Amino acid sequence: MDVRKLSLEAVEKIIDKKAFANIVVNEYLNKFEFSQADKALFTNIVYGTIQNLLTIDYYLAPFYNAKKTKNWAKYLLYISAYQLVYLDIPEYAVVNEAVAIANVKDHYIGSFVNGVLRKFLREPLRSFDGLDDINYLSIKYSHPAWLVACFLKDYDYETTEKILIENSKVRDCAIRINTLKASREEIMDELRQRGIGFSEPEITENGLVVFQNMSKSDLFLSGEITIQDISSQMVAEVVNPRKGSTILDLCSAPGGKAAHMAAIMENTGKILACDIYSHRIKLMEKGFNRLGVKNVKCQLIDARKVSDYLQEESVDYVLADVPCSGLGVLSHKVDLKYRLDMKSIEEIIYLQEEILSSTCQLVKINGYYIYSTCTLNKDENERQIEKFLQKNPNFEIVKEKKIMPFDYQTDGFYICKMRRIS
């Protein structure tokens, strides 16, 4: 199995065809028969190259003319430089493999790739000295300069750098114990018996961080556990629904928070889980069946149109886990930072406003409206809620929580629980 050739193909798809990195990687892992070592190397090269794209490009820039180089040859240099800088692989192996791949397409480019990589190896890594603050952070941590400026608008330099550092880390698998089928103690005992290491975060009741991927384990397939980031688990715990409650879960797919609320309510009450895409409705129904969730009804509805189907003051809780820029989940969505721009974020902010304004009156008086995002952008979080409360003084904040990625080595999240007082 030519791991580096397949890695090159995958990187080319992600950059040129704008394919999603996680989808491409899973596609290749399912299509080809990799050994465990090759699977790990392929995944590492693809995700690592995309994660560090701007840094790699900066290191390579003095050694060739990027504008005159074919894209596939440039990406071959990228994956090779990634291995040389970030992985413990013999230099000759990386260079020889790259030249062999290039020679298959064009012998001239094989010589070119050999020359660039050998010059790259002879020189020390290019210094970041002389870059201004924004470009220094942009290049060192491979985040577009506009995105660094966006973080600096809301946070000081030190905090911004800590965010960027966390975005570059590979996280262990976080699971939620599904209390509809198993207890925390039962799952922890089972993991110990299997020799699977884990840690116990203090911030959630039924979350564990497990030191291996559990997505294909029998514990996952049986529904005793599910894959869910620790900070995401905090949302349902902040909702803290009473047994027998009625809940409207907007933008619900893939359904993790609805399933968590169902477990908290022990399958009592009723949860209406809405989403705008039919294939995501099917995904939720499949997930609820695996987890033994019985009190959730899935509905294909645009969150902005839900008021056409429900009466005002008809639910005890509204959970609006709204579409957002995702700036809190960049550690495992490694290509997202290159897809976003300020215009798309402005459109998201307007959509959030629409959802808030069109659904807030559905909650009963003395009921709760919970707004959450997986972003760190204050225009989508604190300032969004400030605007909402100015327009809707009949709501008050009862709990507001911001989880920074470096607080607990989790995704970044914002959660605001509001009560309707009149």
The set of catalytic residues is 374
Give the list of residues 6+ apart from residue 187 with CB closer than 8 angstroms, or none: 177, 208, 219, 224, 225
First to last CA, the chain: 65
Please choose, from the candidates 386, 387, 385, 390, the residue with its C-alpha nearest in 3D space to the C-alpha of residue 373: 385
Residue 389 class from Cβ within 10 Å (0-12 exposed, 13-18 middle, 19+ buried)? Answer: middle
Instruction: Please state, in angstroms and rounded to a whole number, the distance separating the CA atoms of residues 333 and 192.
Output: 30
Please choose, from the candidates 143, 140, 116, 121, the residue with its C-alpha nearest in 3D space to the C-alpha of residue 129: 140
Q: What is the DSSP letter of 179?
A: T
Give the list of residues 6+ apart from residue 327 with CB closer than 8 angstroms, or none: 147, 150, 151, 375, 376, 377, 412
- Helices 133-141 and 157-167: angle between axes, nearest 10 degrees: 10
Write b or e for each residue in 18-27: b if 16 or more Cβ atoms lie within 10 A of its Cβ, otherwise e.
Answer: ebebeebbee
The token pair at 289 is 């069946």
Q: Are 3 and 38 in contact (CB under 8 A)?
A: yes
